[in-house]
Structure 1
Amino acid sequence: MYSLAHTVSSTIEIRKSRFIGNVEPILDRATALERVAQLRAEHPDAAHVCWALLAGGHSAAVDDGEPSGTAGRPMLEVLRHQELEGVLATVVRYFGGTKLGAGGLVRAYTDAIAQALLQAERIPVVRQRLLRCQLPFAQESMARRLLQQLDGELLDVQHSDTVQLEVQLTAPAAEDFLQQLKTASRGELCWTDMDADQPRQGPISPAPDH
């Protein structure tokens, strides 16, 4: 999966209608809605501000008054075909007085986004994992050092009968983090994957002795 390094735009004109395509990195739906509202304010005379979003496993396709399925959905399919994630696609349309028909609209909105993406710099998406780990007090210092070495982030610490750490790392680093803690704690590590659809939970068995 890929996201975009920065915002890019492109303008095409079809039968005197102007289509301003825009693609940009967006993390969530709330931010996308703010951006769409900003575009509406910047283009008060536009006939439509259509948009599509792929972010955080959620999608949206909005036709904004165009015939159903002729704007938002085609734009969304372009994002999916390009294997994009965390990206908002918008098209501002200024109506030129000539109707394009359903097929013409699909082509226009598809082309507006495709043309913008030709200029875009794609960057790989590195999935993050949010973990909650419960481990003995004796392993806390080691866990903190390991987290720092792996460029992870310590989000929360709680102390009771054990130490509970809430951490965030890239997916590959998270596997390394868990395996090293598993070995150090010899089976006394419990963990929950907080961002999984179904949280996975320990304890993790210690590595076998050889």
Structure 2
Amino acid sequence: MKSIKEITEHTLVIKKSEFICTLIPLNDENKINETIGFYKEKYKDATHNCIAYLVGTKERANDDGEPSGTAGLPMLNVLKKQELSNIIAIVTRYFGGIKLGAGGLTRAYSQAVAEALKEANIVEKHLIDVYDVSLDYSFTKKFEHLLKVNAIDCINKEYSDQVTYRLYIDDLSFFDTIQELTSNRYTKEFIKKEYVPVK
């Protein structure tokens, strides 16, 4: 699946109206409202904050007070045409005093998203397992060498009684290798599945 690598912003001015498009990559359906809420608060002085998103199984278009069908849906169509997912598009409009009409609005909102996408870094993402692996301090040097050799990404490290590594694990046979290294003195815990860019 295709998405964008990082948050991207692009501003378009049409007949004195300012259209600020913010594109946000998002993998978690539960964070949709929180993410949108943050930008609505950030641009609360704007005339409109129109929204389109495709996140997981959810999709939505919202015109936020613009004439029905002139903002959210055209924005959503641009995302779909590019075959993107796990993405939110928010177009913030500051009204410049000149009305654009329904056709003009549709073009403006579509263009705002399309131009922001030209600047965005579009990446192919795949679903990968995230695991926590805990082991004794005496194994850390060899284990970290193992991660490097197998090109396994470590997202986080925590030090307590043992060292816990949070890892992206693509191939579960890697656990056999850890078992061998530690003589089976390690623990693993599945955390979640996450979309990450394909290397």
**Alignment TM-score, normalising by the size of structure 1:** 0.62
Indicate how the Cα distance of structure 1 residues 73 and 155 shifts in structure 2: closer, same or farther if over 3 A, else same: same
Kept in 2, the 8 Å contact 1:154–1:168? The answer is: no
Q: Per chain length, whose mean CA-contact separation is higher, i.e. which structure has more relative contact order (CA < 8 Å, sep 6+)?
A: 2
One-letter amino acid matched to 1:121: N
Partner of 2:10: 10
* Bigger share in strand: 2
Indicate how the Cα distance of structure 1 residues 168 and 86 shifts in structure 2: closer, same or farther if over 3 A, else same: closer
Rg (Cα) greater in structure: 1
How far apart are the structure 1 equivalents of 2:176 and 2:85? 28
Kept in 1, the 8 Å contact 2:27–2:194? The answer is: no
Gaps of 5+ in 1: 130-143, 157-166, 171-210
Aligned length: 146
Partner of 2:12, secondary structure, is strand
Kept in 2, the 8 Å contact 1:2–1:84? The answer is: yes
Indicate how the Cα distance of structure 1 residues 28 and 62 shifts in structure 2: closer, same or farther if over 3 A, else same: farther
One-letter amino acid matched to 1:16: K
How far apart are the structure 1 equivalents of 2:97 and 2:59? 31
One-letter amino acid matched to 2:86: G
Partner of 2:190: 155
Residue 104 of structure 1 and its aligned partner are, at CA, apart by 0.5
Residue 128 of structure 1 and its aligned partner are, at CA, apart by 5.0
Kept in 2, the 8 Å contact 1:52–1:73? The answer is: yes
Partner of 2:44: 44
Q: Deviations over 1:148-185 (max 9, x none)?
A: 369xx8539xxxxxxxxxx9699xxxxxxxxxxxxxxx
Residue 125 of structure 1 and its aligned partner are, at CA, apart by 2.1
List 4+ stretches of structure 1 deviating above 4 A.
Answer: 167-170
Once the two structures are superposed, the pairs formed by residues 1-210 of structure 1 within 5 Å of their partners are: 1-128=1-128, 146=173, 148=175, 154-155=189-190
Q: Deviations over 1:92-143 (max 9, x none)?
A: 00011111111101100001111111111111121358xxxxxxxxxxxxxx
Kept in 2, the 8 Å contact 1:24–1:88? The answer is: yes
Indicate how the Cα distance of structure 1 residues 46 and 154 shifts in structure 2: closer, same or farther if over 3 A, else same: same
How far apart are the structure 2 equivalents of 1:88 and 1:58? 11
Partner of 1:188: none
One-letter amino acid matched to 1:146: S
How far apart are the structure 2 equivalents of 1:51 and 1:109? 10
How far apart are the structure 2 equivalents of 1:70 and 1:114? 15
RMSD over aligned CA atoms reads: 2.9
Indicate how the Cα distance of structure 1 residues 10 and 169 shifts in structure 2: closer, same or farther if over 3 A, else same: closer
Kept in 1, the 8 Å contact 2:127–2:193? The answer is: no
Residue 40 of structure 1 and its aligned partner are, at CA, apart by 2.0
Kept in 2, the 8 Å contact 1:85–1:125? The answer is: no
Gaps of 5+ in 2: 130-170, 178-187
Partner of 1:199: none
